């Protein structure tokens, strides 16, 4: 029997709280680094242009997540949350792990 896959937009997160200051700084630093990488990539070949677009999107959404204190997945949820005017709850395992690893979560 097939297992049901969980939807990408999980609305039942009990720990859905806005980011604290340390988490916001972490997202901002990553976002600025990715935007810098996007600007530094050469624009001579289609592959480099595509990579710059992806890095630019990731960077811009991380900066947006930091500005909004968006706690979910920046790449998928920050921009829709801004456009819709409500939280689009999409869980982000890598950032949860990094927040715990670097002790950025509230105690």
pLDDT digits (tens, 9 = 90+) for 24-47: 999 999 999 999 999 999 988 999
What is the average pLDDT value for the chain, to the nearest integer? 88
Domain map (residue ranges) of the chain: 21-101
Question: How far apart (Å, rounded) are the C-alpha atoms in residues 33 and 48?
Answer: 17
Question: How far apart (Å, rounded) are the C-alpha atoms in residues 28 and 22?
Answer: 10
What is the reported pTM? 0.84
Q: 16 Cβ partners below 8 Å, 6+ apart?
A: 71, 72, 87, 89
At 14, the pLDDT band (50, 70, 90 cuts) reads low
Do residues 19 and 27 lie in contact, with contact meaning Cβ atoms separated by under 8 Å?
A: yes
Mean pLDDT (whole number) for 2-31:
75
């Amino acid at each position: 029997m097939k297992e049901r896959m969980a939807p990408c937009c999980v609305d039942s997160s009990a720990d859905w709280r806005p980011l604290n200051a340390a988490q916001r700084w972490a997202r901002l630093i990553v976002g600025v680094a990715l935007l810098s990488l996007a600007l530094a990539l050469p624009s001579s070949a289609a592959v480099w242009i595509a990579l710059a677009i992806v890095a630019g999107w990731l960077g811009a959404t991380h900066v947006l997540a930091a500005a909004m204190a968006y706690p979910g997945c920046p790449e998928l949820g920050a921009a829709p949350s801004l456009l819709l005017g409500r939280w689009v709850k999409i869980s982000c395992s890598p950032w949860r792990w990094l927040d715990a690893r670097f002790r950025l979560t509230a105690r």
